[in-house]
Amino acid sequence: MAIETEIKFRIADLANLAQRLEAAGFRVETPRSFESNVLYDTPDRQMRTRTEILRIRNYAGRWTLTHKRMPAGAPGESRHKHRIETETAISDGDALSSVFLSLGLVAAFRYEKWRTEWHDGEGHCVIDETPIGNYAELEGPPEWIDRTAKRLGVDPAEYLTLSYGRLFDLWRQQHGSSVEDLTFATVSQSAPLQ
């Protein structure tokens, strides 16, 4: 079982961040590609209550099944987000979705983004263009995250450990929106970006 450790931060200028990444020795691993995600849960949201996710993702034409949950013991620090992540490639996300639905799960949340993946040989930085703004994620060992954030000019006070689901909940509260999914079509009809 792998433990995923990451932080997010907001991006004001995508081109500027790309320049800083290149200057820091990062190279593009996956060029800007569309990503669509569906989280599955029981009708009464038992998985969300346990802070678990079960996700089918289609990214750059590849399907992936992911399960994430909180580690049993405390990670020893709270500045970074820690999750146990089990992930595997699948050949047909639509077929697996049909299986989940027939087992009584529901498509509880959909979210989309345009993602560009960068790497420096030790960790990853992904740039996510979402319907509610642009974010970057640094994923790797905690020491690498802090060292890389400093090289990129990101202050630890800017670190976010919230999921896109929680960021969307906050956005909906701020905008008084009742949209249920974080997709480009639903958000653009709900409220202008700020």
Query: What would the pLDDT profile of 129-166 be if each residue is shown by its tens digit?
Result: 999 999 999 999 999 999 999 999 999 999 999 999 99
Return the minimum-mean-pLDDT range out of 16-20, 78-82, 125-129, 168-172.
78-82
CA–CA separation, 113 vs 11, rounded Å?
Answer: 14
Quote the pLDDT of residue 2. Answer: 79
Vertex 120, ends 33 and 54: CA angle to 5°? Answer: 50
Distances from the Cα of 162 to the Cαs of 70, 129, 148, 178, in angstroms?
13, 16, 19, 20
The number of folded domains in the chain is 1
Q: What is the pTM of this model?
A: 0.91
The letter for the amino acid at 146 is D
- Beta strands 53-59 and 106-119 are unpaired
Mean pLDDT value across residues 47-55: 95
Quote the pLDDT of residue 190. Answer: 72
Q: Identify the bridge partners of residue 21 per DSSP, sorted by sequence position.
A: none
- Is residue 129, in this structure, part of any structural domain at all? yes
Helices (H), 39-131: 46-49, 93-102
Quote the pLDDT of residue 136. Answer: 98
- Whether 80 and 7 have beta carbons less than 8 Å apart is answered as yes
The CATH number given to whatever domain includes residue 48 is 2.40.320.10
Quickly state the pLDDT bin for 72 (edges 50, 70, 90). Answer: confident
- Collapse the DSSP code of 145 into the 3-class scheme (helix H, G, I; strand E, B; otherwise coil) and give the result: helix
Quote the pLDDT of residue 74. Answer: 56
Work out the number of other CB atoms within 10 angstroms of the CB of residue 22. Answer: 12
* pLDDT tens figures, 90-110: 999 999 999 999 999 999 999
- Whether 106 and 41 have beta carbons less than 8 Å apart is answered as yes
Mean pLDDT value across residues 100-124: 97
- Is residue 194, in this structure, part of any structural domain at all? no
Domain with 173, as residue range(s), is 2-189
- Whether 128 and 34 have beta carbons less than 8 Å apart is answered as no
Q: Token pair for residue 113?
A: 């983004």
